[in-house]
Structure 1
Amino acid sequence: MAKNKLKIGEFSRLGRVTVRALRHYEEIDLLAPEIVDRETGYRYYSASQLQKLFSITKLKSMGYSLEEIRNLWDDEQHFPTVESLEEKIRKCEEELNMLKERKRMLKAVVDFQKKKYKMEKICFESLPAITVAAHRTIIPSYEDLGRLCSEVIGPEMARLGCICPEPGYCYTIEHGGYKPENIDIEYCEAVTSKGPDSSLIKFKEIPSVPLAACLKVFGPYEKLHDNYVELFAFLEKEGYKIAGDPRAVYIDGIWNQEDPAKWLTIIQVPVEKA
């Protein structure tokens, strides 16, 4: 009975639709199998029915509903009139305009959320006057910063009898701007009082900063440059100008966190309203 017929699975593969879709087409009297075996319930389609299936798929992709497609086949038209196609074009234009407006609204919300997120990440505060022990040198890369602190600056500060207040406060300044290598860096650490200068350590009085933009950065030091750029762009947009050397303040690092993702650095930029 089903000789030279296609089972529903074979028919669905050839027609590139799901079996579920074929069963739905059958339920709404759009495309029924030629044969249904009463004993097994198996459904069989003929190869000639593929043409109708392809037509259904094409009309769906053109925006016609299954009900509209079924009406076309009931009226034996099989394909829309020019007037019908032009109406679909008009509706497409309406939908395009609606989607453009929706896109505009979504972008406005995204821009607002980004600005809000940046405002949440960035805070403004004053920085007190401090006394620091400073060491300026050129390091090959940021990877050498930890070694510089532990092997050079730390021992020399201990030798000079430096006392650091609690909580500790240390930062670096990149002289000459950002460079990925051969970095001209100045390391400064707050101390309770000035001591005698040495060949490695110079003591300085750092004046207070009335207003500084502060940005928290988690991760390795290589990320700092991108965050500086982000912060500077934000400040320019909000009408601030830089009023002093930006500082990278080290809160958590290799000395207490093995995972670089947990290193916390705060960028502090002295600013004033433009």
Structure 2
Amino acid sequence: MIAIGEFSRLTHLSVRTLRRYHEAGLLEPATVDDATGYRYYSAHQIPTAQIIHRLRELDVPLPEVQRILRSPDPDARATLVTDHLRRLETQLDRTRAAVASLRRLLRPEPTPLDVQLRAVPATTVAAIEDDVESDHVIAWYAGAMAELDAALGEQTGVPGGGSAGGQNGVPGGLYDNSLFEDGRGHVLVYRPTPDPPRRGRVHPVSLPAVELATTTHVGEHDDVDVTYGELGAWVVANALAVAGPVRERYLVGPRDTPDPAAWRTEIGWPVFRVAPG
């Protein structure tokens, strides 16, 4: 038997931590002296203690550590660990994105925004639309765009709905103000095509003509809100904003290249020009 102090040195877990793991039923001593209450461990518990140590270093919650240790199936244990690592990677991506956005906001001299005023004619598109929670927009967009690609691909006979003559233009989306103001709003994603099909959720839509103040967001969407803010400030200073959904066009995106640095998203803010030029 190994006394708790020596076991602590062997496993690099403090005595206090070992006591807490005992109380939680996570790592119980091999025996406890009835007279003194001293805890004693066996040598074969060292690997278990080390596994717990590694899992806790990865911020795995105690109940999940317990599930991993008690699972008799190695594949189930691997799945539990993999799921947690995936959550950590997602959290790390969010942290990196937040840091990049903050650095961009804190630059002493922001890069001047290139804004263009453009009259967009009425356009016929194949579209999917719905009311969507803001937290679910990315997942909803991915599913809707895949369905659009499949419908147009079936129509043209070209995977993804492309065509040799370039009939189908740049995909895009319309996002109602309520999505940003209330956390839920109407979203429409589309692909321009001269003959929109009706298939599943896909249906023809005629987008009205509109005047837009546009700028292009470079890279991932993690800090697209910064570009939105810069464009909105430009509109306030130079044009008259009008009611209507913000438009986006996905000039280059994940469907075109896996390199986020190459992605280009055009943001269009509906405006009414109050002065020429």
**Normalized against structure 2, the TM-score is what?**
0.48
Flag the structure with larger Rg.
1
